[in-house]
Amino acid sequence: MSGVFSPFSLGPLALKNRIARSATQDNLGGSQGQITPAEALLYQELAKNQVALLFSAHAYVMPEGKASPTQNGLEDERNLPILEQIAGQVHEQGAKMVMQLSHAGEKSVSSRPLGPDGMSLQDLRQVRDAFVQAAMRAKRAGMDGVQIHCAHGYLLSQFLSPLQNHRQDAYGGCPENRFRLALEIIQGIQDACGDLPILIKINSNLPDAQADLAFEGDLETVLHLCRQAGVAAAEVSGCDFRSFPRQAPPYYLARAARLRKACGLPLLLVGGIRSDAHIRQVLEAGLDMVSLCRPLICQPDLVLRLQQGPYTSPCLSCNQCFAAIGTEGRTCVLHTKGADRQRLGL
């Protein structure tokens, strides 16, 4: 495991190890998109516990793109002061903080959900501009980069999916067209934010087995475009974070390894990684980092435990931590102190 905990560079990001915390909606936010002091404490705790790279909970870039009642917002400047505090606290622990930006699309809880087929060119411009403005705010707050959420069935994932995007114009059809909006967002952020590192999160699969057979080729095309555009890295996930594939963990590894070899873009893998053996398996397959979600809900100090020797997380992969939506944080069935807010002493 020595290579796991050695200093490492992910593009322009100098990191102290190869373990990231995947973006996790923490159920600690306010009902109007506010980032709360409880969330600041949670990020500080993870950074103290030697997570090298923290992806924030996904933040909506415009009200129409809000995914859940307690989701954080970055559609205006009201959260900048606490984001500056979070960035400072994370940096004090030698970790890096990347802001994940998202638009829920058809999954939005707003009164006007937007999906690929029903969006006008003006709608597309508004979405693109909202992502760029949110990235500018993240940079001003001291974030080390932004991650564009192109996974989990949200808007940019909907555009990339041939199952959901039936447009007949420049934003539909071939994979280059289906990724066009995301690429325009990336290029817009580069123009506005200069050298701010840009990462993406992307599905490794589709829910339809027949369509998924051709999707790997689509992903190769998309990741080549990302590399050409100067994207720092892509985090590879599954199309539905609430369910698990019928394969041995780490999930999605075989396809992710082929994509890494074919495209040359640095990749992180999230899904089913529960032990030092899993981490070695991912890195030995040629991927650059591992990203953890549920195991860090179960044990925020998991990285410290892994540093001490062979270890397997007790995380049951039961998904009960995602069963309830509220304002008390995530609850693991193995926690003796309840949800995050109680565990953090709030």
Question: Residue 201 forms beta bridges with which residues?
Answer: 149, 235
Contacts of 263 (CB under 8 A, 6+ apart): 220, 223, 224, 226, 227
Task: Of 299, 311, 305, give the one whose Cα is nearest residue 337.
Answer: 299
Scan for tokens 């909970």, then name that residue.
57
Tell me how far apart the alpha carbons of residues 14 and 8 are, in angstroms, rounded to a whole number: 6
Residue 1, pLDDT score? 59
* Contact between 226 and 265 (Cβ < 8 Å): yes
Tell me how far apart the alpha carbons of residues 140 and 28 are, in angstroms, rounded to a whole number: 23
- Distances in Å between the Cα of 117 and the Cα atoms of 78, 106, 169, 184 are 32, 10, 10, 18
- Pairing between β-strand 96-102 and β-strand 72-73 as defined by DSSP bridges: unpaired
Residue 244, pLDDT score? 60
Compute the Cα dihedral for 206, 209, 211, 215 and give only its sign: positive
Name the pTM for this structure.
0.96
Q: Which domains does the chain have, with CATH numbers?
A: 2-313 (3.20.20.70)
Whole-number CA gyration radius for the chain:
19
Residue 326, pLDDT score? 62
What's the average pLDDT block by block, 10 residues per block, for the chain (346 residues)?
A: 88 97 92 94 97 98 94 97 98 98 95 92 98 98 98 96 97 98 98 98 92 95 98 90 72 96 98 96 98 94 95 91 72 73 65
Name the strand (E) or helix (H) holding 32: none
Tell me how far apart the alpha carbons of residues 126 and 163 are, in angstroms, rounded to a whole number: 24
Tell me how far apart the alpha carbons of residues 156 and 148 are, in angstroms, rounded to a whole number: 9
Residue 341, pLDDT score? 64
Residue 331, pLDDT score? 82
